Structure 1
Amino acid sequence: MHDRRTAIAGLGALAAALALPLDKAGAKTSLRKPPRLRPGDTVGLIEPAGFTDDAFDLALVKETISAMGLVPKAAPHLTARYGYLAGKDKERAADVNAMYADDAVRAVFAVRGGWGCARILPYLDFDRIRAHPKLLIGFSDITALHMAFAAKAGFTTIHGPNAASSWGKLSWDSFRSIAFDGATPVYSNPQASDDRLVQRMWRTRTFRPGRATGRLLGGNLTVLTALMGTPYLPDFNGAILFIEDTDEAEYRIDRMLTQLSLGGVLGKLAGVVFGQCTDCRNNGPSYSGFTLSEVLQQHLEPLGIPAFQGALIGHVANQFSIPVGAQAEIDAAEGTIRILEAAVS
């Protein structure tokens, strides 16, 4: 692998012909583009999964949104709590529906992840959501919403930091490029600052070299596999799957990738980007099983498609904003993701 010297390069890269998703009858449908964000826009804050119990933390979230030049609007049930959830299922779903019906709201930020997005999917008004394309921004458990929107709403969303994330420079630059500028950047991991003869931090590992073009679909591996067998997963035929996870032992990653394989998802793909897997290691003193890279090698190499590991996607302080549903080209040998079409209109 080569050292990565630029975090975001090549704004205004080549546009590509849009590979359109299929409807239930097999006909091609248009991927719709939500409006881009502009300074002064009002954006909604929702908690579709876990709750935030500290008022100061929510105040910081609102300050973060304001620092972006945007105006935060809290959902009616933002401070609700029901067990480990931010309100009952229908309440959290009602907040999502309300934000997409509100003409004053231009985009919707998830404050945090946790667990619970899948529970609200049956209560979402996808006719209403489809009629009002707006960027949805978030990651981790928000994967359930990204996948459901890709399957049923037909417009791009952004797998990127939650509103309560740290929003370092790389995260902010990446998000602004996609959501405000409508740019088509090339993502590659930055040069690490560790004082070593050979870079070790933020390296990528290639399982199969080559380039692949396809629709970006994915998110958190655990959440994605939990949607298998439901109507809330889009068609992965010809897609580039990007996945990440946290706090999962190697055998559980193995189990989930096996499920994607047995379910026919992996066999449909054009390429794979496995991002960050934070703390995905069995630290038991007697553990002598497969490493994470060995598990990935076993599943990805036999696919015969471009695949690499290590992109800054996932539970890390800085992460790329990935436009879910948009066309992209990956170069597995270089460890790059080239966005080929604007995510916004």
Structure 2
Amino acid sequence: MKADHLTKGDKVGIISPSTPAPVKFPERFKRGKAYLESMGLDLVEGCCTHKEQSYRSSTIRDRAEEINEFIRDPEIKAIISTIGGMNSNALLPYIDYKTLKKHPKIMMGYSDVTALLLGIYQKTGLHTFYGPAVVPSFGEYPEMLKSGADYVKNELFAEKKAPYTLEVPDKWTEELIDWHSQDRAKTMVTNEGWKCVRSGKASGKLIGGNLNAMFGFIGTAYFPDLNDAILFIEDSFKDMATEERLFSMLKLHGVFDQIQGLIIGKHEHFDDLGSPFTQEDLLLEVIGDRSFPILENVDIGHTFPSHVFPIGIKVELDADNGDIVFTEKGVH
């Protein structure tokens, strides 16, 4: 199931399903809104936008209702998250999937919002979008990277027709600059490209998100069927020990017995803990004798610029040549 693509003048709802980013980073939030408005969108702030309860914006019910209000509003064409956090999985039992299935609309976010994106896809069949959030991405200083904005236009505004091969950005960054004091653009470095870990070609439905967020709902009724999927995973600020636990989680749930291929995003500020092996070595150790193709160091997730991945679309993966081909669009 697909929503209609965005056009200038469309109304977009802004949600805060976890961290109260608009309260904690008001200038960056203001800048993110301004950038989205410069794309021709009419923004509507959700009821939790200016609320704060320590690590979360509001109660579980309030955060779910913020989303449901936009789902039930026929004028809202898309819903975009302000940021990630830790607790979007708590909202899954309270989302109005029935109405969303009748009136599909675009849902986009990343990191912790993985729970909502995959939960909605599982319950409704609606293609959701793993992509930029208002505060960290659209609110970048002095403005969002042009390539990142182009990726959004390609997918949400349907400016690029399928099939097409994703580009490898020439440069990227994971530089950390305090959001309160940032007074310069982040330093970009040369992109080493996308790396083949295990050769081969495969095709299937594109499903995935933030690996750590998956830990909060894998094995439940809200986690999608991964049979014949091309799985993509990415993470941020984790270490080698944590990754062994998370990779093993996937194996114990039978994921590596189901998927046709694996895409691994750049890991923002990974700590190898001085291990005498690489993250790639660890992954292959955990996976064992499975033979599906694996492509790593892909620009998706927490680093910039980041591609937008429509969850559920058909894709082709050629690990040998480092190619990811979107064979269909995620919107009408």
Does the TM-score normalized on the shorter chain lie above 0.5? yes
Partner SS for 1:43: strand
Q: Deviations over 1:131-151 (max 9, x none)?
A: 221111110001001110111
Take 1:108 and 1:193, find their aligned partners in 2: how far apart are those partners? Answer: 27
CA–CA distance in structure 2, aligned partners of residues 123 and 249 of structure 1: 33
CA distance in 2, matches of 1:77, 1:311: 33
How big is each residue's C-alpha offset from its partner over 1:69-128, in whole Å with a ceiling of 9 and x where there is no partner? 111110122111122101111001001111111011000110111112001111112112
Structure 1 pair 255–330 and aligned structure 2 pair: CA distance change class (3 A): same
Q: Partner letter of residue 297 of structure 1?
A: L
Instruction: State whether residues 203 and 260 of structure 2, in contact with CA within 8 Å, keep that contact through their aligned partners in structure 1.
Output: yes
Letter in 2 for 1:83: S
How many aligned positions are there?
A: 307
| Corresponding position: 1:161 with 2:161 | no
Report the equivalent of 1:320.
307
Alpha-carbon distance between aligned partners in 2 of 1:114 and 1:293, rounded to the nearest angstrom: 26
For the residues of structure 2 that align with 1:267 and 1:207, how far apart are their CA atoms? 18
Do the aligned partners of 1:33 and 1:344 also contact (CA within 8 Å) in 2? yes
Say which of 215, 226, 251 aligns to 2:216: 226
CA distance in structure 2 between the aligned counterparts of 1:205 and 1:193, rounded to whole angstroms: 15
Question: Within 2, Cα distance between the matches of 1:336 and 1:227?
Answer: 30
Matched, 1:43 2:12: yes
1:1-345 mapped onto 2 (5 Å cutoff): 32-52=1-21, 53=23, 54-164=25-135, 165=137, 166=140, 167-181=144-158, 183-184=161-162, 185-192=164-171, 201-283=191-273, 287-300=274-287, 302-345=289-332
Q: Displacement, 1:129?
A: 1.9
Displacement over 4 Å in runs of 4+: none
C-alpha deviation, 1:193, in angstroms: 9.1
Contact 2:172 2:305 (8 Å CA) reproduced? no
SS at match of 2:134: coil
Deviation, structure 1 residue 130:
1.6
TM-score (normalizing by structure 1): 0.85
Which string of whole-angstrom CA distances, capped at 9 and with x for unpartnered residues, describes residues 218-253 of structure 1? Answer: 000011132122111010000000000011111211
- % of aligned pairs identical? 29
Amino acid at match of 1:44: G
Amino acid at match of 2:166: Y
Counterpart CA distance in 2 for 1:39 and 1:103 is 16
Give the partner amino acid of 1:236. L
Cα distance in 1 for partners of 2:167, 2:291 equals 23
Runs of 5+ unmatched residues, structure 2: 174-188
The residue aligned with 2:180 is: none
Question: Is the CA contact (8 Å cut-off) linking 2:71 and 2:96 kept in structure 1?
Answer: no
Q: CA deviation at 1:300?
A: 4.7
How far, CA to CA, are the matches of 2:261 and 2:212 in structure 1? 19
TM-score (norm 2): 0.88
8 A contact 2:272–2:279 mirrored in 1:
no
Tell me by how many angstroms 1:192 deviates: 4.4
How far did 1:267 drift? 0.9
